[in-house]
Amino acid sequence: MSENLLTVKDLKTYFFTASGVSKAVDGVSFTLKKGETMGIVGESGSGKSVTASSIIRLLPPKIGRIVEGTIDFEGKDIIKLNKKELLNFRGKDIAVIFQDPMTSLDPVFKIGNQMVEMICAHQDVSKEEARKMAVEALKKVGIPQPEKRMESYPYELSGGMCQRVIIAMAVCCKPKMVIADEPTTALDVTVQAQVLELLQELQDEMDTSILLITHNLGVVWKMCDTVMVLYAGKTVEYADTKTLYAQPLHPYTWGLLDSMPKLSDTVKGELNTIPGVPPDLRLTGNCCNFYNRCPYAQERCGKEVPELVEVEPGHFVACHRQNKENKLVRGEENRNE
Amino acid sequence: MSDKKVILKVRNLTKEFKIRAQKFGEQPQILHALTDVSVDIYEGETLGIIGESGCGKSTFGKCLVQLHKATAGSVEYDGRNIFELKKEDLKNLKRDIQMVFQDPFSSLDPRMTAGKLVEEPMIVHKVVTDKAERSRKALELLQTVGLDVQHVHRYPHEFSGGQRQRINVARALALNPKLIVCDEPVSALDVSIQAQVLNLFNQLQKEYNLTYVFISHDLSVIKHISDRIAIMYLGRIVELCDANSIYENPLHPYTQALLSAIPPESPFEKRERIVLSGEIPSPIGEQKGCPLAKRCPKCMERCKTDAPQLKDVGDGHHVACFLFDDK
């Protein structure tokens, strides 16, 4: 296998708010290899976006802080970078594509100017050269008449087109890694398919790694090599995509997979749901976060925080009831045997 | 299908929006949001409506509850055209057709408690005039949608998205409606919560014999909840059929393309994607020919000039495409 590009170990990012410490990310570990795509899935509030912001150090100042853990990117610890190094690192080494394409572009500047500004900030080129690069990048992402589009304002473009512009901006500095934070959530399915295929093409061409954050499991199946499931700020399961689909091990993953309505179902039946709601992030940390919603919970789950263990090679799970010797089978037994 | 009672008969429903002229003296342009939509909605069924943004699905829902005034066409309920009803009749009608909106965060008044929110429609329509009786009924409704006594005196900001959507459903139920128009009711919710709310919709339908018009852009959600599905494109229904046959036997080129764009259900599945070139054309200005003509891989000469009508091709499967004309 190829070398590791990004290694995140036991990352903890807390938010210090007036009403208490919110443990938005409370123990996330994963590795991303070169040229690979990794998916992060979870419900809202599970810490997907905060993980991404922590990696590029874009947390709200004062309130949000990385309190523990290491983020290793090609041998350098990102947490220890100073301001100047950070400027060089963001955009050049890691580019980010945000969820809402319409608001991540500045509405009062032409997209050409925005792209040129970005290129000039990261590369030692003249404005004319930067312009040429921008047109080239727009052409690459499939925008018709790129020269003309350079003169458009963001509002003149549709959502899918805006997202293409943002992808063009992200890739024109040839980053080693792209973080795509819900890149297609605001888009229609047909446009979503186009944007995802575009990302795949660019990845093949430039050998970039992609960290894809999404709540849509279908997108994960389509795009990702490995996938991590987050719940209440913690990695609960981490495996390669096919293994996770074929043999998921964490009860939360089971619930998540079951609660998706499936197109191939022919009977209109009840969906399996996960009862209850996710816990308050200010109160987590002294037991398994899934304890009060888990149908397989035991006494131990309410007392100890489960560790992330490698149950099978490459398959990590954080659950007291799943370990190498003793595996829990899906649907085998119910609460409090 | 014919043995079922038609609850709502929509005929040639058309909605046009005038776009104000940019310059003085210019003719205002017309945006064709809905063109010639005809469909029968049967009692007790769920009609799913799916399409991309801008295809007119929300406009359709809003025309049914008369939040938009239709430009032309008729909607018959109980044998009467709802657009011609006046005052008292209209108010009675609005009691029967209710709506649940997409965004659970902005559709509830932040200054009212859950109990008051559910009571509000009963006050407006003077259904229950006794105060104690009204709050008892509000509690009962909140309990049917899965909330409890403790929630009655809470304000919307104290609830999660899923709970708020439950309050919205309770509000719609307060007037004992026959038909509920649900405009993307689960789009703003997480999958596990979405499943809970979808189950709630199914359970209420059985209990109260409700009819739903369920609007969504998520095909797997629509497929799960609907009996029949209408696929809309650029203000028209292009295909109308059984929920199962849309997946097994999609006929219209647009439906096929839409289905192929949906992300796979497993990492082992590889889907051949049918690509429609270009973007959705603008609904502004004169519309000529089939709306899909410019992007359709099977476009014929005729498609550019004539607009195909929705036709039955057997088993209640309706398609608006010239490819199926001879059948």
pLDDT in tens, B171-228: 999 999 999 999 988 887 888 788 888 999 999 999 999 999 999 988 888 988 999 9
Percent of chain A whose predicted confidence (pLDDT) is above 70 = 96
pLDDT band at A285 (very low <50, low <70, confident <90, very high): confident
Instruction: Tell me the C-alpha distance between A125 and A169, whole Å.
Output: 15
Burial class (CB in 10 A: 0-12, 13-18, 19+), A58: middle
**Cα–Cα distances in Å, from B314 out to A256, A259, B245, B317, B319?**
38, 34, 12, 6, 10
pLDDT over 50 at B57, yes or no: yes
- Whether the CB-CB separation of B180 and B172 falls below 8 Å is answered with yes
Looking at chain A, which residue has its C-alpha nearest residue B270?
A222
Residues 6+ positions from B39 with CB-CB distance below 8 Å? B10, B47, B230, B237, B240
pLDDT over 70 at A260, yes or no: yes
Handedness of CA B164, B103, B55, B83 (dihedral sign): positive
All structural domains of chain B? 6-324 (3.40.50.300)
Lowest-confidence segment of A10-19, A23-32, B14-23 by average pLDDT? B14-23
With respect to residue A150, please indicate whether it lies within any of the assigned structural domains: yes
Considering only CB atoms, B265 lies closest to which of A192, A258, A263, namely A263
Q: Chain B partners of A191 at a C-beta cutoff of 8 Å?
A: 52
With respect to residue A228, please indicate whether it lies within any of the assigned structural domains: no
pLDDT in tens, B88-144: 888 888 889 999 988 888 889 999 999 999 999 999 988 888 899 999 999 999 998
With respect to residue A29, please indicate whether it lies within any of the assigned structural domains: no
Instruction: Tell me the C-alpha distance between B237 and B233, whole Å.
Output: 6
With respect to residue A225, please indicate whether it lies within any of the assigned structural domains: no
pLDDT in tens, A31-75: 999 989 999 998 888 888 899 989 988 888 888 889 989 999 888
Q: Chain B partners of A158 at a C-beta cutoff of 8 Å?
A: 279
With respect to residue A163, please indicate whether it lies within any of the assigned structural domains: yes
With respect to residue A139, please indicate whether it lies within any of the assigned structural domains: yes
- Whether the CB-CB separation of B8 and B77 falls below 8 Å is answered with yes
User: Which residues of B have a CB under 8 Å from any CB of A?
Assistant: 52-53, 160, 162, 190-196, 198-199, 202, 217, 219-221, 223-225, 227, 243-244, 247, 257-258, 260-269, 273, 276, 279
> How does the average pLDDT of chain B come out, rounded?
87
DSSP B57: H
With respect to residue A110, please indicate whether it lies within any of the assigned structural domains: yes
pLDDT in tens, B222-274: 988 999 999 999 889 999 998 888 888 889 999 998 888 888 888 887 777 88
The number of domains in chain A is 1
Looking at chain A, which residue has its C-alpha nearest residue B255?
A190
Residue length of chain B? 327
Q: Chain B partners of A245 at a C-beta cutoff of 8 Å?
A: 266-268
Instruction: Tell me the C-alpha distance between A222 and A189, whole Å.
Output: 13
Both structure tokens of A162: 């805006």
Which of A204, A207, A201, A143 lies closest to A175, judged by CA?
A207
Percent of chain B whose predicted confidence (pLDDT) is above 70 = 98
Contact call for B53 and A260, based on CB within 8 A: no
Q: Chain B partners of A159 at a C-beta cutoff of 8 Å?
A: 53
Considering only CB atoms, B192 lies closest to which of A188, A263, A273, namely A273
> How does the average pLDDT of chain A come out, rounded?
86
Question: Tell me, what amino acid is at B259?
Answer: L
Percent of chain A whose predicted confidence (pLDDT) is above 90 = 27
Q: To probe the interface with A, which of B163, B166, B192 has the most A CB atoms within 10 Å?
A: B192
Instruction: Tell me the C-alpha distance between B117 and B170, whole Å.
Output: 9
Considering only CB atoms, A43 lies closest to which of B192, B217, B263, namely B192
Residue A132 sits in which domain range?
102-174
User: Tokens 């040129």 label which residue?
Assistant: A116
With respect to residue A121, please indicate whether it lies within any of the assigned structural domains: yes
Instruction: Tell me the C-alpha distance between B216 and B213, whole Å.
Output: 10
**Regarding predicted confidence, which is higher, B38 or A140?**
B38
pTM: 0.85
Measured in whole angstroms, how far is the alpha carbon of residue B107 from the centre of its chain? 17
Contact call for A221 and B266, based on CB within 8 A: yes
Both structure tokens of A28: 């996330």
